[in-house]
Every structure is written in C-alpha cells, then in structure tokens.
C-alpha cells in the first residue's frame, strides 16, 4: 500500500479562476478559489499570473505531491465552448507546476476520477465525504464558482482513496 504524502496539493485549473486544495497527512487543511488578476488576456502571461496567485496562497508549503486535473478532449457536440480553451487549461497546469515545485506530479482526466457524474451529485459526494472540521477549512467563495474548489478537493479525496464511489489510483 502506498504511503500518504505529508503535503498533497490539488489543482482544478482555470484561466480566470482555479480551485486549490491542500491535504496534510490525508486531512484537508486548506481549500480555496484562486482568481487571476489578469481578467482579459490569454496565453502564457495569463497562465503565469494565475500560477503566481496560487503560489501566494500556498506560500511556505513544500508539496510532496501535486495532483492536477488534466484537460480532456470531448467528442464533438459534448463540449460547451471553444476546444482551444483546453490549451489554456494545459498551460495553467504547467505554469502551476513550475511555480510550486512539487516533488512529484500526477494528473487525472475528469473521466478517470469523477466519470460522468453530474456536477450537483459530484459536489454533494465530495462535501459528504468531508468531516465537519474539513468542511470548515473551505474558504467562502461565490456559489457559482464553488465547483472549482470542490473539484480540487475531490481530486485529493480520489488520490487518497477517500472519495465515495471511486477506487484509489495506483501511482507506484
């Protein structure tokens, strides 16, 4: 059985807002929304700006492991929006890895860790898995953006084998 990382960081990437979560010894210790101060630009400058904000929110933490949600290409007709946006998300992932310098990095496609579960059910599953103390460390954010934070938390719960209805991955 694999050991639990001392400090596990998780990122749900976004160009304008991203969710981050930190688990210490398997317990959620921080979860918040990171906002990009660059509200209109795209590309490397925007990726770097949100990565810098994430690093500020995690200042002083040395991550043993960072778990990223990796952009997933969907079949035509299932994707809402511009498929080129996936490039932006991949750029954010890379910029955050560079900014945080974790010892190890793993990524999961959405289908690998949450499948096709509808957002309301997925969010309830994540919140229902957390202890009351863990729920308290989730920083307030607008309800319309909370799913970003819950996805970051869900990635960590999945990695730790705690997310109900899923199996823990093997990262040997």
| CA–CA separation, 141 and 18 (whole Å) | 12
For the chain, helix, strand, coil in percent to 5 are 40, 20, 40
> What pLDDT is stored for residue 77 in this prediction?
56
| CA–CA separation, 8 and 102 (whole Å) | 9
In this predicted model, what pLDDT tens digit does every residue of 94-144 receive, in sequence order?
Answer: 999 999 999 999 999 998 999 888 999 999 999 999 999 999 999 999 999
* Domain architecture of the chain: domains with CATH: 7-159 (3.30.420.10)
In this predicted model, what pLDDT tens digit does every residue of 158-167 receive, in sequence order?
Answer: 999 998 766 5
What is the β-pairing status of strands 104-108 and 17-24?
A: unpaired
In this predicted model, what pLDDT tens digit does every residue of 57-101 receive, in sequence order?
Answer: 999 899 999 999 999 887 665 556 777 889 999 999 999 999 999
Instruction: State the residue for tokens 């990009």.
Output: 36
Q: 111, 4 in Cβ contact below 8 A?
A: no
The residue ranges of DSSP E strands in 76-144, in sequence order, are: 104-108
Across 106-126, b (16+ Cβ under 10 Å) vs e yields ebbebeebbeebeeeebbebb
Global pTM reads: 0.91
């Amino acid at each position: 059985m694999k050991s639990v990382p001392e400090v596990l960081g998780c990122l749900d990437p976004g160009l304008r807002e991203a969710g981050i979560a930190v688990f210490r010894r398997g317990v959620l210790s921080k979860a918040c929304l990171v906002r990009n101060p660059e509200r209109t630009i795209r590309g490397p400058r925007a990726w770097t700006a949100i990565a810098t904000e994430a690093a500020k929110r995690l200042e002083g933490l040395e991550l043993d492991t960072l778990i990223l949600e990796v952009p997933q290409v969907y079949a035509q007709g299932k994707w809402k929006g511009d498929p080129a946006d996936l490039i932006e998300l991949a750029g954010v992932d890379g910029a955050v890895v560079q900014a945080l310098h974790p010892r190890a990095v793993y990524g999961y496609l959405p289908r690998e860790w949450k499948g096709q579960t509808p957002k309301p059910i997925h969010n309830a599953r994540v919140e229902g898995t957390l202890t009351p103390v863990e729920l308290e460390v989730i920083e307030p954010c607008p309800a319309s953006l909370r799913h970003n934070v819950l996805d970051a938390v869900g990635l960590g719960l999945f990695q730790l084998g705690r997310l109900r209805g899923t199996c823990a991955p093997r990262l040997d």
